[in-house]
């Protein structure tokens, strides 16, 4: 097929709950909290919410309690709450407090929220959902990449060459594989698909925690499947590119499920959590 060119806090009285939103008297007006402190606090609290320390639907403790728990100023806590609110994890209500939102309200497409899920052992259905996302996006991306200009082919080929060179696990093999898949998204020359690169990267890194460990004996087979995808894109064969990506993803999902099952049978839950992280 001819290519087309495309140019490119809760028991306090209401007044006390509101007061923590303003800088304390000892905090100079206009003071900007440390970005590092802000990000670290949001990440720590975000992970605790995702891990169920603060269950969905529950009210967070008061600002004073949270400040003591995290050794954080009210300003830093306010900024962290703002970040988490923007990600859909929490919501503040006057005279009620700050509540953890239902998981269906969380922005799971946010790379940080996804990373917080992956910082602990993800549930099986969560990992399956990530693969469903990949299956919905990547075959279409491979198909589109095969009919675009050849500008993105070099990046895909370079990533595959690194995978082939590192096939025995020496060096950053996972990084090379991530680059391969992200390069295909970029090769579509579609800004919306390319914008999913960070999300796909997080999904890939999660799945690779299982598939590269659990499917080490068939790594050569997976490498050949990547070679086939590269060849189809290079030849401008969109149907073949799509079919080969579907095959790769289906087989990788099967690898992951088999590894999870073997790990579940062989390893006690506490040890399994340590291994997965």
User: Cα dihedral sign for 92, 96, 97, 101?
Assistant: negative
Which domains does the chain carry?
Answer: 14-105 (1.10.10.10), 121-271 (1.20.120.530)
Give the residue-averaged pLDDT of 3-25: 43
What are the DSSP E strand ranges found in the chain?
90-93, 97-100
Whether 32 shows a pLDDT value over 50: the answer reads no
- Comparing CA positions, the residue from 103, 98, 16, 108 lying closest to residue 58 is 98
Mean pLDDT of the chain: 79
Angle 111-118/197-214 helices, nearest 10 degrees? 20
Query: Encoding tokens for residue 102?
Result: 């239902």
Q: Report how far residue 191's alpha carbon sits from residue 168's, in angstroms, rounded to the nearest whole number.
A: 34
Task: For residues 36 and 27, give the distance between their C-alpha atoms in angstroms, rounded to a whole number.
Answer: 18
Structure confidence at residue 236 (pLDDT): 95
Which residues, at least 6 apart from 180, have a Cβ–Cβ distance to it below 8 Å? 156, 159, 160, 163, 226
pLDDT band at 12 (very low <50, low <70, confident <90, very high): very low
Q: Retrieve residue 227's tokens.
A: 């070679």
| Predicted pLDDT at 15 | 43
Distance CA 221, CA 251 (A): 10
Q: What is the pLDDT of residues 60-94, one digit of tens each?
A: 999 999 989 998 888 999 999 999 999 999 999 98
| Alpha carbon distance 17, 63 (integer Å) | 7
Q: Which residue has the higher pLDDT, 141 or 273?
A: 141
pTM of this structure: 0.69
At 190-228, the pLDDT tens digits run 998 888 877 777 777 766 666 555 444 346 888 999 999
For residue 16, is pLDDT > 90? no
């Amino acid at each position: 097929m001819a290519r087309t060119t495309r140019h490119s806090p809760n028991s306090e009285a209401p007044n006390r709950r509101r007061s923590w939103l303003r800088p304390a008297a000892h905090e100079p007006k206009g003071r900007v909290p440390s970005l590092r402190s802000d990000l670290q606090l949001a990440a720590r609290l975000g992970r605790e919410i995702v891990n169920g320390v603060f269950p969905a639907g529950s009210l967070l403790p008061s600002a004073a309690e949270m400040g003591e728990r995290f050794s954080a100023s009210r300003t830093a806590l306010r900024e962290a709450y703002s970040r988490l609110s923007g990600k859909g994890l929490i919501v503040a209500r006057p005279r009620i407090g700050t509540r953890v939102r239902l998981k269906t309200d969380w922005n799971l497409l946010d790379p940080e929220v996804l990373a917080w899920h992956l910082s602990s052992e993800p549930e099986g259905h969560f990992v399956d959902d990530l693969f469903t996302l990949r299956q919905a996006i990547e075959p279409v991306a491979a198909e589109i990449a095969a009919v675009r200009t050849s500008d993105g082919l070099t990046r895909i080929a370079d990533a595959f060459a690194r995978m082939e060179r590192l096939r025995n696990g020496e060096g950053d093999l996972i990084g090379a594989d991530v680059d391969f898949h992200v390069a295909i998204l970029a090769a579509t020359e579609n800004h919306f698909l390319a914008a999913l690169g960070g999300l796909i990267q997080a999904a890939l890194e999660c799945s690779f925690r299982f598939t590269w460990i659990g499917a080490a004996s068939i790594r050569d087979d997976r490498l050949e499947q990547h070679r086939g995808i590269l060849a189809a894109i290079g030849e401008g064969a969109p149907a073949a590119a799509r079919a080969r990506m579907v095959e790769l993803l289906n087989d990788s999902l099967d690898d992951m499920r088999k590894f999870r099952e073997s790990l579940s049978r062989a390893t006690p839950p506490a040890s399994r959590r340590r291994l997965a992280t």
